[in-house]
Amino acid sequence: MTNAIETVNLTRRYGKTLALDNLNLQVARGSIYGFIGPNGAGKTTTLRLLAGLLEPTGGEIRLMGERLRADGGAGQHLVGYMPDFFGVYDDLRVWEYLDFFARCYGLGGKRRQSTVDQLLDLVDLTAKREAFVQSLSRGMQQRLCLAHALVHDPPILLLDEPASGLDPRARVELRELLRTLRDMEKTIFLSSHILSELAEICTEIGIIDSGRMVVSGTVDAVRRQLQGGNTLRIRVLRAAEQAEALVRDLQPAANLPEVVQVRRDEADVHLLYVELRQANEEQQAALLAHLLVQGIPISDYHMQAEDLEHLFLRLTEVT
């Protein structure tokens, strides 16, 4: 089966500025792909290229196996695009707003009315159909613009920072809506810098920095690839200072791990965080046994994986 989105050496320049540098991207059909990067990394440029709103300087784009033409014609029917800053027609009622765009796509008569009703139901705005767009909250306007992107029933959705400016409740509602769209076999490509939220809903993520793809794959695969070590969280009943010193002075051996750093929690002096360099389970057990032999009473311990937020910050600092 062909991918929903595929780019080959996709490049975009603005004058002398290289905004996108040979981007090779593959997004499987029916997936939710999170495109992550700091401001200016090339996220919005990529989405506009995929939507056919920009012409690439080099490379090519394939949508549902079909090469995107220079005029972006194919993208108009294969893609629904929601930009990060969207415009709405304040003097229109909610149903009129969707009806207008349905007419733009050539939907007529009963089909247009049915499409508007179905989309309002999908984004939970049926009760607001007679309200003016300007009276909607930010979250409701965001859902309305998503409905606009779905008017022509495209197989691919391109969403640029869809959670931007939303309150916590609206973000939860958006995540549930994205899961519903995935169940409808839509392929969703969304950009964001809020990694914690993407990790909850995305099947795959890609990290872009300075116009280049740094890493791409499933959330777990990316975490494993970027994880430089493991953090062992150890709680002791007493003698925390002694335990900290013992761990810090530990010399790596065949059965003992290499300690990168050790620190105590500022709020809980009995809690230690020990960062190890790629330690296996036997080495972790040997470290705990070493502390027990030295008379350190351990009440709890577990491995604490570094979250994507810290991995991203560490990665982009290096690059």
Give per-residue pLDDT as tens, 265-278. 888 889 999 888 76
- The CATH number for 263's domain is 3.30.70.260
Residues 48 and 175 in one domain: yes
Residues 235 and 177 in one domain: no
* Residue 316 in domain: no
pLDDT at 73 exceeding the cut of 80: no
Q: Please give the model's pTM, rounded to 2 decimal places.
A: 0.76
- What pLDDT is recorded for position 186? 96
CA dihedral sign, ordered 160, 166, 168, 170: negative
* Residue 92 in domain: yes
Give percent of the chain above pLDDT 90. Answer: 50
28-55 average pLDDT score: 91
pLDDT at 291 exceeding the cut of 70: yes
200-209 average pLDDT score: 87
User: Domain count of the chain?
Assistant: 2
Task: Say what the alpha-carbon torsion angle 248, 249, 253, 256 is, to the nearest 10 degrees.
Answer: -40
The parent domain of residue 245 ranges over: 228-306
- What pLDDT is recorded for position 38? 83
pLDDT at 95 exceeding the cut of 50: yes
Residues 127 and 171 in one domain: yes
Which of 195, 225, 255 terminates a domain? The answer is: 225
Q: Which residue has the higher pLDDT, 86 or 262?
A: 262
Q: What is the C-alpha to C-alpha distance for residues 230 and 274, in angstroms, rounded to an integer?
A: 8
pLDDT, the chain, mean: 86
Residue 113 one-letter amino acid = Q
* Residue 252 in domain: yes
| pLDDT tens sequence across 208-261 | 988 999 888 887 777 666 665 678 889 999 999 999 999 988 887 768 888 888
Which of 171, 202, 225 terminates a domain? The answer is: 225
140-166 average pLDDT score: 91
pLDDT at 11 exceeding the cut of 60: yes
Residues 165 and 290 in one domain: no
Q: What is the C-alpha to C-alpha distance for residues 91 and 79, in angstroms, rounded to an integer?
A: 27
Residue 59 DSSP SS3? strand
* Residue 273 in domain: yes
